[in-house]
Amino acid sequence: MKRFISLAMAVVFALSLVWAGCFAAGNPAYAVKPRKITNRKLVVGLVPVTMNTSYTMTINGAKKEIAKLGNKIDLIVQAPSNNTSTITDQGNILESLIQKKVDAIVLATESDTSMLPYLREAAKANIPVFLFNMSTIDQKDIYYVSSIGYDQYGAGKSIGKWVADTYKEGKIGVLEGYPGVVNTQRMNGFKDAIAKAPGLKIVASQVANWNRESGQKVTEGILTAHPDMTILYGPFDEMVLGGLVVVKERNLMKQIHVVGFGCTKDGVTSVKNGEMAATINVMEYETGFDIIDAVNNYCVKGQNVKKVIYRNCDVYDGKNINSLDMARFN
């Protein structure tokens, strides 16, 4: 009997994988084709994971590109209130945008699997979906038009390589983002890069929820457990800026090198002031340009766009930080 149940469960599991694969690829009948909407303004719904400095930069870039194109796009920005309610809130927001029959949806999510039913409904309603700030996406999936942003894994690897090349050895404390595919990809890239430096070791890695307050609290605990830590890293500037407060309070600026991710305004200022050692520009401001260009090309010009539109990412430290264009923060 037990053997029969186990076999049945295995069959169900296998079928679920097949179903998921088919669902991810999508029904070709629902593929949303380019169109030419030229007799009115486009209405575009933009749904980030939550509102923070990262997504604010992308929205700033999008608004600048909209102005450049003659303000012919109405951008509706709706975001979950916090990371813990992201999946539920995003589902509700997407349902609302679909019911409003917007012309396009722009989405960033930490669970593309959870969003698949809504992407399918958008496709059924003939609403094109553009993804941004995502990690690995199935390029055969017809439920989205294009994934825009940068290689999350590659960016994590780039900042990890900078750490490995700069410090060679040291004990690293890590402030992780809220669990999800974005955090996983950034962390995997970082870990793979520092693995090539035998003298570097991660002594602690804890979730700090992408925000400054959690970053400060978690760093206090890590430093108490590992007072000999020499590097503090997090895959988003806001978390390590919280950690930086603790490093300053304990007079450990000469011992601990603080490394961030994202080139946020406060992160850039911190590098300029010689506090944070480095951060990486993941082109979130420029992603806003690319989003609007893709939407405009697809929905106004009737042109196909690339399935993946990625920008290269550069590390900024004390040597080159003053070359960064500060317009992204205006």
CA max distance for the chain: 70
Answer whether residue 12 is part of any domain: no
Residue type for position 326 = M
Answer whether residue 22 is part of any domain: no
Provide the domain limits for residue 272.
Answer: 153-282
Sorted by sequence, the CB contacts under 8 Å of residue 234 that are 6+ apart come out as 174, 175, 176, 177, 208, 215, 240, 243, 259, 260, 261
Instruction: Tell me the whole-structure pTM to 2 decimals.
Output: 0.84
Tell me what pLDDT residue 328 has: 81
Are 220 and 249 in the same domain? yes
Tell me what pLDDT residue 4 has: 37
Rg (CA), the chain: 21
Tell me what pLDDT residue 5 has: 38
E-strand ranges in 80-145 read 104-107, 129-132
Q: Which of 242, 262, 282 is the last residue of a domain?
A: 282
Q: Which letter, b or e, does each residue of 121-159 get, where b requires 16 or more Cβ atoms within 10 Å of its Cβ?
A: bbbeeebbbbbbbbbebeeebbbbbbbbbbbbbebbbbb
Query: How many angstroms separate the Cα of 4 from the Cα of each of 11, 14, 289, 329?
Result: 11, 15, 56, 61
- Tell me how far apart the alpha carbons of residues 32 and 127 are, in angstroms, rounded to a whole number: 7
Answer whether residue 326 is part of any domain: no
170-186 pLDDT per residue, tens: 999 999 998 888 899 99
Are 170 and 274 in the same domain? yes
- Tell me how far apart the alpha carbons of residues 12 and 6 are, in angstroms, rounded to a whole number: 10
Answer whether residue 199 is part of any domain: yes
Answer whether residue 164 is part of any domain: yes
Task: Name the one residue in this structure whose structure tokens are 């992204």.
Answer: 328
Are 128 and 231 in the same domain? no
pLDDT in tens, the chain (330 residues): 444 334 443 433 343 333 344 344 556 656 789 999 999 999 999 999 989 888 999 999 999 999 999 999 999 999 998 777 888 999 999 999 999 999 999 999 887 788 889 999 999 999 999 999 986 566 566 789 999 999 999 999 999 999 999 999 999 999 999 888 889 999 999 999 999 999 999 999 999 999 999 999 999 999 999 999 999 999 999 999 999 999 999 999 999 999 999 999 999 999 999 999 999 999 999 999 999 999 999 999 999 999 999 999 999 999 999 999 887 887
Are 136 and 226 in the same domain? no
Q: Which of 282, 302, 320 is the last residue of a domain?
A: 282
Instruction: Residue 61: name the closest of 201, 222, 263, 237 by CA.
Output: 263
Are 92 and 144 in the same domain? yes
Tell me what pLDDT residue 325 has: 83
- Tell me how far apart the alpha carbons of residues 35 and 206 are, in angstroms, rounded to a whole number: 46
Instruction: Residue 283: name the closest of 261, 258, 307, 298 by CA.
Output: 261
Are 257 and 300 in the same domain? no
CATH number of the structural domain spanning residue 271: 3.40.50.2300
Are 75 and 167 in the same domain? no
Tell me what pLDDT residue 18 has: 39
Are 43 and 131 in the same domain? yes
Domain total in the chain: 2
Answer whether residue 159 is part of any domain: yes
Are 106 and 123 in the same domain? yes
Residue-by-residue DSSP string for 241-273: HHHHHHHHHTT-TTT-EEE-SS--HHHHHHHHT
DSSP strand pairing (314-317 vs 276-281): antiparallel
Are 203 and 228 in the same domain? yes
Answer whether residue 40 is part of any domain: yes
- Tell me how far apart the alpha carbons of residues 78 and 156 are, in angstroms, rounded to a whole number: 28
Tokens in use for 238? 């806001």
E-strand ranges in the chain read 42-47, 73-77, 104-107, 129-132, 146-149, 169-176, 199-207, 231-233, 257-259, 276-281, 308-310, 314-317
Tell me what pLDDT residue 223 has: 98
Answer whether residue 8 is part of any domain: no
Tell me what pLDDT residue 29 has: 57
Are 111 and 218 in the same domain? no
Are 190 and 278 in the same domain? yes
Q: Number of C-alpha atoms within 13 angstroms, CB side, residue 215?
A: 25
